[in-house]
Structure 1
Amino acid sequence: MKSWRFLGPLFVMAICTALFSFAMFQGGFMSWFLFFSFLPLVIYQMGLTFYPLRNLDVSRTLSQSICHAGQSITFDIIVERKAPFPLFYCIVEEVLPDSLQRSDTGINKYAHMNHPVSYEAKRYKKQILFPFFRRKIKASYTLSQLPRGEHQLDQIRIRTGDIFGFIKKEHLFNVNDTLIVFPNKRRIRFKYTLHSLEQGEAIVQSNDFRQTNMVAGVREYLPGDKFSWIDWKQSAKRQDVMTKEFEHEKSMEAFFILNAVSSCQWLAFEGMIEVMYSMMDVIQKTTDSKIGLLSIGKEMSYFPSHFDVGSREKIMRHLATLKPSNEDMFTDRLQRQTTVLSTHSLIFVFSCSIDIRFIESMKKLHSKHKKRLHIFLLLSKNQSIELQDTINMLVEHQIGLTVLTEVQLMKDPLEVRV
């Protein structure tokens, strides 16, 4: 390809040489007029041929580096140069990674659960500018319906050339930026039936679902505690502001187990991450529960239950960047990790595949945790029908089970019974 770059300049030089020869042999005003009229174009072509495109200073700015799936962000690509060499046009292209070749249309994407190809979207971001003598140019574009994940933006391609197309130049610039897209937050309607969550049914959006009539003790005041929770008598005794501690604050602990295997359909896997992310966010905001996670996929990641914000951010970052595993090691790895599960935890298992080995592992888990275990299966409607006999094996053992198909996932709010 590099040898073809010089064909344009050679062609221009050949025309210039032919005009010069014609003027020398023919003489006269017209022949020399043609030669000198063509000479500025030859000089520009030679200058453009040796113009150091790689010396451009290219940078990228993002309107935000963290967002949620389905949202949009704006990119600004700024190109600066020292010498004001005239450029007739300049094509600025963002080389988008494969991870961004999908679109997230919110709950509407689940309508294509059986045809996940429709989730893919070829994105091309190019913009043509006419800088002429300007030393600084800017190209802006917007990426909408962003998919979940950690997206590495590494390269920007710059193309330019002359007006006749004899000369074309391009260079690939390495400009590194990271865009993190968290899962979409869903509105969830909870129906609690487990012993530690006897709150009834509600669209969980409020900031407080505490059982303030079950005082278990006192603790130091924390930002966000209500004024009515302050225990004035204990505060006076200890010379510090003390807050009433309620029963569920001491005992509630939600632990999530995620089966991240590659056998899932892509949309089912995205739905599983989205529902889990939303449940964690809702439970923690409305009950101040401790949240833990055991993610079993290509690598096993364990996040113990803590109240601190740092632990929560690590879990959310993990769910944002997680990809399906190529190996189904869920059952074996889960058996080696059962000791990390507290007997006081509510255990939620999320999976988008089910087989006999999975059922056997759930039976063992259920024997230890009984009604504190609940399983969420994310399947397409066709899969749920085909696997009905296998699913019934969980029901027969009285294991808490919720099957979510595209029918449920497209509802707003999402109804979840646990």
Structure 2
Amino acid sequence: MTRWQIGWRYAVLLFTVLSLWVYARIDGGNVASLLVYVMGGLTIYWTLFLIWPVTQAIATREVSNKMLVAGTDIPVSLKVRRKFPFLVGSVEVKEVVPAELSEEQLDIRHPLRAHYRKIEHIEYLIPSIRRGLYQIPGCVIEIRDPFGLFMRKKLYPVETYLAVEPARLAVQLPHEDDRGDGGISPVSLDLRQSSFTVVGVREYVSGDRMNQIDWKATAKRQGLMTKTFEREQERETTIVFDEGTVSDDDFERSISMLAAATDQLNKRRLNYRIHLVGHGVQSLSLPLEGAKLTHYLMTAQPSRTRSFIESWEYSSKALRLNGNVLFITPDLESNNEIWISKVRQEATVHVYTPERRGDQ
């Protein structure tokens, strides 16, 4: 109820009391006088209701401190205690929850008992939360008089900040002996940081592994000979993420695949890079910039306004891909195929889409 609504109702109330008083003065009967006294008493009550701090209260909110994941439900506990006594009709608490937080329409209202200084516990669930960063600014306490003529409300800034991560969509990263992904990457994808090449042999030393013994050289020289190795040039692991142009279920699944892929690479303790292709190309070095990646996974929205290959070539002419490339896209367009064929000249490409998430 707005102040304007309260004002005109109170004005009508005063006009009614004045009219009854005039009628009682003219009529002089007991009934008319009784009506004046009743309306006068009610007017005093409503006046006190409007000026008394009936909405003063203490409110606290508790939300589970575990990691919040999109698609799950959030249990919330709200405690409210009124501070000043007054005769009221009904007390109701409404939570001010962002509409974008849940996939369902939220209208969280709970009636409270109109007791003074009694703590009320409210337990409820916010269902099917969405990925993102959110703020619950507070709760609104609405109090009505017993006759329902006036209603007062107040917003209490019980702020709660929520960070909802994307759900993890299972992806199978290829191993060293995996070959191809349906014709796009016909060579094996090696996710190790480096490999070694045999460059010679030497005499066996106690402690050498048996699988490092060169048996042909041993047979020729009539003594155990051990292979010697040289580290090859480091091979990079790179994720290229195509944001696409439409914020739909395929985009959300792509974000979930990106989160799952980075989790697996982090568990393998690999250093890798991510190129996020939207309106431009944003590059991250992991795990050094893990905080930026976490923020991106929670807040990312499609920003590409031109074709993927145009965005890549316009913003990343100095970028050169080699080693192993994991390409994640919500929609495998024809220009994506052209880009893949170009990158394959110097790197191994493995493609992930919502329909294809590795060799499963």
One fold, TM greater than 0.5? yes
- Residues 59 and 49 from structure 1, CA distance in 2 versus in 1: closer, same or farther, beyond 3 angstroms? same
Cα gap change, 1:69 to 1:41, in 2 (>3 Å): same
- Aligned residues: percent identity? 17
Match of 1:343 in 2: 322
TM-score (norm 1): 0.63
Asked if 1:268 corresponds to 2:270, the answer is no
Say if 2:262 is the partner of 1:280: yes
Residue by residue, what CA displacement relative to the aligned partner does 1:139-170 show, whole Å, maximum 9, x if unpaired? 43211221112223235333222122211233
Q: Deviations over 1:293-352 (max 9, x none)?
A: 11122464321134x5xx3343233112211226236433422436445633x2111112
Report how many residues are paired: 315
Q: Which has the larger radius of gyration?
A: 2
- Displacement of 1:131: 2.8
Instruction: Output the CA distance in 1 between the equivalents of 2:336 and 2:81.
Output: 57
Which residue of 284, 291, 311 corresponds with 1:303? 284
Paired residue type of 1:279: A
Give CA-to-partner distance per residue, 1:175-201, whole Å, 9 cap, x none.
5432111111244455542534489xx
Structure-2 residue corresponding to 1:314: 292
TM-align CA RMSD: 3.9
Offset at 1:4? Answer: 2.4
Contact 2:235 2:322 in 1 (8 A): no
SS state at 1:417 partner: coil
Q: Quote the residue 1:26 is aligned against.
A: 28
The CA distance in 1 between the partners of 2:344 and 2:10, in whole Å, is: 77
Is 1:165 aligned to residue 148 of structure 2?
A: yes
CA distance in 1, matches of 2:5, 2:246: 47
Are residue 91 (structure 1) and residue 92 (structure 2) matched? yes
1:180 matched residue in structure 2: 163
1:368-379 correspondence runs (5 A): 368-369=346-347, 372-378=348-354
Does the alignment pair 1:417 with 2:343?
no
Rounded Cα–Cα distance in structure 1 between residues aligned with 2:115 and 2:24? 32
Choose from 84, 102, 127 the match for 1:144: 127
What is the TM-score when the length of structure 2 is the normalising length?
0.71
Structure 1 residue matching 2:147: 3-state secondary structure: coil
1:299 to 1:166, Cα distance in 2 relative to 1, 3 A: farther
Check conservation: 2:55, 2:142, Cα contact below 8 A: no
Residue ranges of structure 2 left out of the alignment (5+ in a row): 180-187, 199-229
Instruction: Within 5 Å, give how 1:17-416 maps onto structure 2.
Output: 17=18, 20=21, 25-26=27-28, 28=30, 35-51=36-52, 58-64=59-65, 66-79=67-80, 82-102=83-103, 121-134=104-117, 137-189=120-172, 192=175, 193=178, 195-197=188-190, 253-263=236-246, 266-285=248-267, 287-298=268-279, 300-306=281-287, 311-325=289-303, 327-328=305-306, 330-335=308-313, 336-337=315-316, 339-340=318-319, 343-344=322-323, 346-369=324-347, 372-378=348-354, 403-404=355-356, 416=358
Q: 1:256 to 1:198 in 2, by over 3 A?
A: closer
Unpaired segments ≥5 residues, structure 1: 103-120, 200-209, 217-246, 379-402, 405-414
Q: Which residue of 2 aligns with 1:385?
A: none
2:89·2:144 contact (CA, 8 Å) conserved in 1? yes
Q: Which residue does the alignment assign to 2:223?
A: none
